[in-house]
Structure 1
């Protein structure tokens, strides 16, 4: 066996192997950056959301910041699969105006965490969506399936200080 010829065969096949690895890496989901719809709130709400974006924590539930595409001051994300925050969303249909009526939908539960009130909705795909209530802008947080329902409180606790600092109590615009 000629050792030099054997090495030459390996070296000659190296570019093909590199090309294959690049192709596989390009098709893999190693870059799990999420894509989300960016809300389009009015100017007053957008300003509040930009203020929120500036004070959001670097980590939520131990997950590092991983903002979704397209990049926007109205969205943020942490981890992969990402916990997604959208600011300036419309009031959810299941959120009942407390002055008009009480909600009767069992899939829409209200509650407060560290001074921020939330509407919790379990989605059809098993994820949970939380939307702030009684704030001057609606902030929506969507948890991926791997975040158990009981661990959602940690996410909301981690976000509460920033929301209280940037989004004052009040009634959000519904336009």
Structure 2
């Protein structure tokens, strides 16, 4: 039980996003290793400057594994851990060739699965998740090899 609480607390802290008035958005960066880290850096270079009408902004601390659009409207973290709530029997919808696990407890959190690294995207209710995930599919497919 303490391990489960520690994981939940770690995830909650990692996902804390605080927008400043026109400043950098605070997002806790993940720490991928090896091939996942290299793939996440490649993904960062391929991400769009505009996503569902929101311009790409800056995050703090600066990280090649984090991208944000708008003022905390959309946040992407590459190289996160496998979603703790995902089971082997879950049906995972696919959008343009990328499988996205929707977190049942957080309807604004989606994680791409089945690739070299897990990519987590938090999408505010100002945006249409399908539009955001569709726009992210091409760079994810280009940068992150499928697994399994």
Residue number among 64, 74, 88 corresponding to 2:79 in the alignment: 88
Query: Which residues in structure 2 correspond to 1:70-81 (within 5 Å)?
Result: 70-81=61-72
Alignment check: 8 A CA contact 2:73 2:126 kept: no
Alignment check: 8 A CA contact 1:129 1:140 kept: yes
How many residue pairs end up in the alignment? Answer: 130
**Structure 1 residue 164 corresponds to structure 2 residue 146:** no
Q: What residue is the counterpart of 2:100 in the other structure?
A: 118
Secondary structure of the corresponding residue to residue 51 of structure 1: helix
Instruction: Tell me the TM-score normalised to structure 2 length.
Output: 0.80
Please give the alpha-carbon distance, in whole angstroms, between the structure 2 residues aligned to 1:43 and 1:133.
18
Q: Which runs of 5+ in 1 are unaligned?
A: 1-28, 104-108
Alignment check: 8 A CA contact 2:115 2:146 kept: yes
Larger fraction in strand = 2
| CA shift for structure 1 position 121 | 1.5
Alignment check: 8 A CA contact 1:83 1:144 kept: yes
Q: What residue is the counterpart of 1:19 in the other structure?
A: none
Alignment check: 8 A CA contact 2:51 2:69 kept: yes
**Structure 1 residue 134 corresponds to structure 2 residue 111:** no
Alignment check: 8 A CA contact 1:122 1:128 kept: no
Larger fraction in helix = 1
RMSD: 1.9
Secondary structure of the corresponding residue to residue 25 of structure 2: coil
Alignment check: 8 A CA contact 1:66 1:82 kept: no
- Find runs of 4+ consecutive structure 1 residues off by over 3 angstroms: none
Q: Which runs of 5+ in 2 are unaligned?
A: 1-19
Instruction: Tell me the TM-score normalised to structure 1 length.
Output: 0.68
| CA shift for structure 1 position 32 | 4.8
Distance 1:143 1:122, change over 3 A: farther
Query: Which residues in structure 2 correspond to 1:1-175 (within 5 Å)?
Result: 29-97=20-88, 102-103=89-90, 110-123=92-105, 128-147=108-127, 151-171=128-148
| CA shift for structure 1 position 95 | 1.8
